[in-house]
């Protein structure tokens, strides 16, 4: 087993993100159903969400380079998920140690 | 599978938000009650597995009939990390998809968490562990079925929410959602199996079910690896083809 298994998964993740420009642009299952059944037009975007930094997995400043924009947005997103979950991991560990000390069996 | 705002009515998204919050709380409590050994395996992998599933979700694959689908990853995470960590990881992924990328609405975020981060892992883990117990020698089938059913369960949940909200009648939305996702679920199953084999091959997660697939399971595995471009067992593929 590699010393830092999560590092290998991050490498695989980066490779997967590089494939993002090749992703199908067809509507996904729900979008297709919404369009077939005629409720697609109901969709709205909350005002707070209008300020999302990378709408539709793209970086607004790089709108002329669609592929690059998507890859960079994907890398940023993967990093954000990774860091957020590292925070969660730390919280889970910290709380666990606390509770274990509190309820240590004799 | 990400529901945008205004597809669901208030009672539906509010109920889903409450249930999702409770489920995340329950998952966190369950992780804290796990043994030291189990925690040492699953917790350090949550970040990397979450990043991987996020990336894989960006890769929409076409399905016959002019539609596409993408991985949800619920079965993959439930099998590698366990049910409770998979709920936490997918919740973080779905929440960040809405906040950073406008993928899925803000008001209905609780419903998207419920479908993809609560129902899908529950169905995936339920099917996987049941099948492993009943057919201990057919691990690959359990993995494939787990992935397919996790997508179907999420699609059914989304359809129920749309119907309960009065957006569209039951009788049309349920078969439409389940029909498309039956196809998308096949892609989910193939990617899940490929990713599990890649993980096993690299020895990255020793706790990932390491039993050698046998018989039909091995043939399905060999075929499932081909579309993913992974090093399948050539002999096995040649024999089937």
Q: Is A28 exposed, middle or buried (0-12, 13-18, 19+ CB in 10 A)?
A: buried
Structurally, chain B folds into a number of domains equal to 1
- Judged by a CB distance cut-off of 8 A, whether residue B48 touches chain A is yes
Interface with chain A: mutation pick from B39, B49, B58, highest number of A CBs within 10 Å: B58
Does residue B210 form part of some domain?
yes
Q: Is B229 on the interface with A (CB under 8 A)?
A: no
pLDDT of B227 above 90: no
- Residue B3 domain-assigned (yes or no): no
Strand partners, B68: A28, B62
CB proximity B92 to A under 8 Å: yes
Q: B88 with B31: CB under 8 angstroms?
A: yes
With respect to residue B4, please indicate whether it lies within any of the assigned structural domains: no
Residue B203: count of CB within 10 angstroms of its CB: 13
Specify the range with the lowest mean pLDDT, choosing from A13-27, A58-72, B101-115, B217-231. Answer: B217-231
Least confidently predicted of A16-30, A54-68, B46-60, B104-118: A54-68
Q: Is A84 helix (H, G, I), strand (E, B) or coil?
A: helix
What is chain A's mean pLDDT, rounded?
Answer: 87
Q: Identify the pLDDT of residue B35.
A: 73
- Provide φ and ψ at B62, rounded to 5°: -75, 145
Nearest to B221 by CA among B184, B185, B196: B196
Predicted local distance difference test score (pLDDT) of residue B218:
54
* Cross-chain CB nearest to A27 (options B45, B61, B68): B68
Percentages helix, strand, coil for chain B (3-state, rounded to 5) are 75, 5, 25
pLDDT, residue B2, reads: 96
Is residue B62 helix, strand or coil?
Answer: strand
A23 touches chain B (CB under 8 A): yes
Count of residues for chain B? 241
Rounded Cα distance between B209 and B196, Å, is: 8
Average pLDDT over residues A26-44: 96
Cβ contact (<8 Å) for A13 and B181?
A: no
Is B51 domain-assigned?
yes
d(CA B152, CA B158): 10
Q: Which domain covers residue B230, as residue numbers?
A: 10-240
Query: How do residues B150-159 score in pLDDT, each as one tens digit?
Result: 999 999 999 9
User: Is-contact B106 B98, C-beta < 8 A?
Assistant: yes
pLDDT tens-digit series, residues A13-25 = 999 999 999 999 9
Inside any domain, residue B142:
yes
Residue whose C-alpha is closest to residue A74's, from A22, A7, A8, A4 = A22
For the domain that residue B211 is a member of, what is the CATH number? 1.10.1760.20
Dist CA B106 CA B12 (whole Å): 14
């Amino acid at each position: 087993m590699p010393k830092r298994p999560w590092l290998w998964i991050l490498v695989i993740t980066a490779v997967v993100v590089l494939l993002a420009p090749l992703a199908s642009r067809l509507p996904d299952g729900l979008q297709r159903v919404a369009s077939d059944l005629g409720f697609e037009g109901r969709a709205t975007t909350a005002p707070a969400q209008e300020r999302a930094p990378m709408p539709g997995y793209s970086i607004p400043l790089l709108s002329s380079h669609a592929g690059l924009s998507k890859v960079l947005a994907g890398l940023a997103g993967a990093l954000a998920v990774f860091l957020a979950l590292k925070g969660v991991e730390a919280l889970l560990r910290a709380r666990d140690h606390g509770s274990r000390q509190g309820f240590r069996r004799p | 599978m990400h529901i945008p705002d205004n597809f669901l009515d208030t009672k539906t998204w509010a109920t889903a938000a409450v249930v999702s919050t409770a489920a995340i709380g329950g998952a966190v409590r369950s992780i804290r009650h796990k043994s030291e050994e189990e925690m040492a395996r699953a917790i350090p992998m949550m970040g990397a597995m979450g990043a991987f599933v996020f990336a894989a979700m960006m890769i929409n694959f076409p399905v016959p009939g002019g539609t596409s689908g993408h991985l949800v990853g619920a079965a993959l995470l439930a099998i590698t990390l366990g049910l409770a960590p998979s709920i936490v990881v997918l919740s973080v992924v779905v929440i960040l998809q809405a906040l950073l990328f406008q993928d899925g609405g803000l008001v209905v975020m609780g419903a998207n968490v419920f479908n993809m981060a609560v129902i899908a892992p529950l169905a995936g883990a339920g099917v996987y562990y049941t099948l492993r117990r009943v057919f201990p020698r057919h691990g690959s089938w359990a993995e494939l079925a787990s992935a397919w059913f996790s997508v179907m369960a999420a699609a059914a949940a989304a359809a129920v929410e749309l119907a309960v909200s009065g957006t569209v009648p039951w009788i049309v939305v349920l078969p439409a959602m389940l029909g498309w996702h039956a196809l998308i679920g096949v892609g989910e199953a193939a990617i899940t199996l490929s990713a599990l084999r890649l993980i096993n091959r690299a020895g990255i997660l020793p706790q990932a079910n390491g039993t050698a697939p046998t018989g039909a399971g091995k043939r399905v595995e060999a075929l499932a690896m081909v579309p993913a471009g992974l090093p399948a067992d050539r002999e096995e593929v040649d024999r089937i083809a």
